[in-house]
Structure 1
Amino acid sequence: MTTDILVHRHGVPTLICAVDGPELRDERDAVDVIGTAFQHEAELVVIPVERLAEDFFTLSTGVAGGIAQKFVNYHLRLAIVGDISAFTTVSTALRDFVYETNRGRQLWFCPTEDDLDERLAAGARRN
């Protein structure tokens, strides 16, 4: 299993979670990742789409909201990186959720790491 690593992206200490790490199924799994982020003194956590349980993408399960809220409670930003188009094409609610969260600074859905870097660079320019 690959390990999670800390990198600095555009001045932001960022924990990059390994693709082959344990699946995030609920808030308890999120707390484990948050603990790792605190150990590394990260401000942003990047989780590959492959690490998320399928229930995350069905908003009625509450999994996405619960996980996102844990990160908010612990003052950590979260970026989900990867292609979620298979989920957003069949769920207007998810598509709207992604749109709204991407307008803020707390939770982003980015198709690629390059997209994430562009967002971080734009934020660094504003500061």
Structure 2
Amino acid sequence: MELEYHTIDGSIYAELKGPAHCIQDTQDMLDLIATANYYRGASGIIINETHLPVDFFDLRTGLAGEFLQKCSNYRFNLAITGDFSNVKSRSLRDFIRESNQTGRVLFVSEIREAVKKWVR
């Protein structure tokens, strides 16, 4: 997994550049957080929805909750970019809406949207 770093208003954010489904489990997410924070002091990471396993979006698996819990535990921001406008699952729509309200984990259509919310 390759990370590209951006400094925005004095804060460092890492953007994951990698193949689809390169984050498979909670340990992968934890490794990503540790790498971004340790090597460059990033306070957040931006990933595309394609980097996540399909099970992430099935809330019954608990994977999304585990990933978000790691971000919360380490006080690390996470933005997931993608098109979430046509999500069919009501529970997933609610999950996305609630996550976006807290601001620690954001589901956004583009990187600029996440950065705006983080730096306000």
TM-score bracket for this pair, using the shorter chain length? 0.7 to 0.9
Contact 1:19/1:48, CA 8 A, preserved across alignment: no
For 1:70 and 1:117, the matched residues in 2 are separated by 20
How high is the TM-score relative to the length of structure 2? 0.88
Contact 1:24/1:30, CA 8 A, preserved across alignment: yes
Equivalent in 87, 97, 100 of residue 102 of structure 1: 100
Query: Is the partner of 2:66 in helix, strand or coil?
Result: helix
Q: Structure 2: give runs of 5+ residues left out of the alignment.
A: none
Query: Is the partner of 2:17 in helix, strand or coil?
Result: coil
The answer to whether 1:29 aligns with 2:46 is no
In structure 2, relative to structure 1, the CA distance for the partners of 1:22 and 1:60 (3 Å cut) is: closer
The answer to whether 1:16 aligns with 2:15 is yes
Contact 2:77/2:104, CA 8 A, preserved across alignment: yes
Aligned residues between the structures: 119
The Cα of 1:96 is off from its aligned counterpart by 0.3
Contact 2:56/2:63, CA 8 A, preserved across alignment: yes
Deviations 1:19-42 (A, max 9, x none): 427621221111110121122210
In structure 2, relative to structure 1, the CA distance for the partners of 1:24 and 1:95 (3 Å cut) is: same
Decide which structure has greater strand share.
2
**Residue 82 (structure 1) aligns with:** 82
In structure 2, relative to structure 1, the CA distance for the partners of 1:114 and 1:108 (3 Å cut) is: same
For 1:19 and 1:48, the matched residues in 2 are separated by 9
Deviations 1:6-65 (A, max 9, x none): 111233210111142762122111111012112221001111111000100011100100
In structure 2, relative to structure 1, the CA distance for the partners of 1:15 and 1:21 (3 Å cut) is: farther
